[in-house]
Structure 1
């Protein structure tokens, strides 16, 4: 059975004696219009290529009705619907046989028909800036790299162990075999250790991003590197053990504890990375400076769909 939920209202896809029902959900899984502008070839057939095929925002609508037991119930339902859908930001979730997918939308128009027989028609028009649909988030977490027996990595303010890159080389784990800490590679991680890595997956058919959460305490901040590409997100600021930094790679937003506490100015590197359709990414977590708590990196990844 298919349902559509928005603003605390649930539209049923099957006929019930009373309540909210939808007749159809328009353009929920359609591919939005391309933003590419074609240019005609002046001396040949066809057009010049338009580059990467980015998509415009998505429009969608719900058409349905409400059925009540009496006129008073229908009048109260109209108030509830208008109150629930008033305002800009809402999340709509459609659940079908393949599971739930969601979009964040602004409600552009709500039209309610006249009441006949304790029933009235409903139309809800919405616009999503991000045209992709997202499945449920999957969280993956790790602490900082710790070898069996309690050996703990700490990266200095320069971000290296005796070289121009991480652990004494130009790339992660590259370069010389011994960092300035006197450790010899390769390291064997014994029972109880951690490599400070997480693997995130995207089971969808469109690119997606992992929302990152980093808890303190970290004296000088942290670094998160996508191992496959070397892309780095580097945040250099003290993070108290009771605080959490939130990063949204899709928008570039960064805040600490509350959305109003913007800390994007402390991002000294912001090589944001996405997870391709049907692909995976490995993220390496490094502390910067002294560790004063039990820092944790959590990546919340929602598969994305067209």
Structure 2
């Protein structure tokens, strides 16, 4: 059974489209659909139409909704106003929308919250305007993990037929699937120890490397969206090599190879791509 209900999530607050106590909302605008193309057309001076554009680049997205709080007193409404005003006041916030098709989210900057005076009433309205610098919306996805490549056991000759091929070994690869319809950046978490590491996209040959020893217990993160690396939470982008970042196209997949030198302990790589939509 479906609920036919839409929910907005802004950081830790949830807004319902039903007439309930607490937070509710109306008039959510610009959550779905594509934003304006930034690549201008150039008209042919002596021909029909314009020169053909090879691609489109989308603008950031401005999203708005009206929030309403219904409480037991005007003082409660004012306290709710203060709680909402603290969200995104000095840093980006996460905004999600839940429908019967699931939950998708964006990272947003809160541009403005225009709150009406309560006039001693037990309810009040707030106009909320946010901007998503990345216009795409995302879903969640699982991390896939692999060890570096390793050989299998192999057969011992002469072979007695029918032969049973032994197992073991690892190709050192993960295949990341983007179920959305927009290209999505890939992320990787590398765990030591090793001297150097390279992550290679099998289909394109694009590579991102880390040219610094990573001891056991340390973690470095590659983020294709920010084009940065974090070592135990601190910026380590100066040790990046190649920097050939790869997005996974919509309704497609990419396979990534994990190679290291000077392996110690149990190094591994985890990869993830979030399904993305315009």
TM-score by length of 1: 0.82
Task: Describe the superposition over 1:13-40 as per-residue Cα deviations: whole angstroms up to 9, x where unpaired.
Answer: 2221x11111121100121110011112
User: Who is 1:276 aligned against?
Assistant: 249
- After superposition, residues 215-226 of structure 1 pair within 5 angstroms as 215-218=191-194, 220-226=195-201
Q: 2:131 aligns with which of 108, 127, 133?
A: 127
Task: Describe the superposition over 1:163-212 as per-residue Cα deviations: whole angstroms up to 9, x where unpaired.
Answer: xxxxxxxxxxxxxxxxxxxxxxxxx9842321111111000000011111
Please state how far the C-alpha of 1:88 moved relative to its aligned partner: 3.0
- Aligned counterparts of 1:235 and 1:217: Cα–Cα separation in 2: 12
User: Who is 2:232 aligned against?
Assistant: 257
Q: 2:56 aligns with which of 53, 58, 66?
A: 53
Provide the alpha-carbon RMSD of the alignment.
1.7
- Aligned counterparts of 1:92 and 1:193: Cα–Cα separation in 2: 43
**Residues 1:207 and 2:183 are matched in the alignment:** yes
User: Who is 2:105 aligned against?
Assistant: 102
Please state how far the C-alpha of 1:57 moved relative to its aligned partner: 0.7
The SS at the match of 1:138 is coil
Aligned length: 264
- After superposition, residues 142-161 of structure 1 pair within 5 angstroms as 142-149=146-153
User: Who is 1:163 aligned against?
Assistant: none
- Aligned counterparts of 1:71 and 1:12: Cα–Cα separation in 2: 20
- Aligned counterparts of 1:64 and 1:273: Cα–Cα separation in 2: 39
Contact residue 189 and residue 195 of structure 1 kept, 8 A? no
Q: Which runs of 5+ in 2 are unaligned?
A: 155-163
Please state how far the C-alpha of 1:84 moved relative to its aligned partner: 2.5
User: Who is 2:204 aligned against?
Assistant: 229
- Aligned counterparts of 2:16 and 2:62: Cα–Cα separation in 1: 21
- Aligned counterparts of 1:95 and 1:33: Cα–Cα separation in 2: 24
- Aligned counterparts of 1:291 and 1:194: Cα–Cα separation in 2: 15
Q: 2:265 aligns with which of 262, 284, 293?
A: 293
- Aligned counterparts of 2:189 and 2:166: Cα–Cα separation in 1: 27
Contact residue 24 and residue 64 of structure 1 kept, 8 A? no
- Aligned counterparts of 1:88 and 1:262: Cα–Cα separation in 2: 19
- After superposition, residues 16-95 of structure 1 pair within 5 angstroms as 16=20, 18-95=21-98
Contact residue 88 and residue 105 of structure 1 kept, 8 A? no
Please state how far the C-alpha of 1:149 moved relative to its aligned partner: 4.1
Task: Describe the superposition over 1:133-180 as per-residue Cα deviations: whole angstroms up to 9, x where unpaired.
Answer: 000132111011122349xxxxxxxxxxxxxxxxxxxxxxxxxxxxxx
Deviates most, 135-144 or 42-51 = 42-51
TM-score by length of 2: 0.90
The SS at the match of 1:47 is coil
Instruction: Give 4+ residue runs of structure 1 displaced > 3 Å after superposition.
Output: none
User: Who is 1:178 aligned against?
Assistant: none
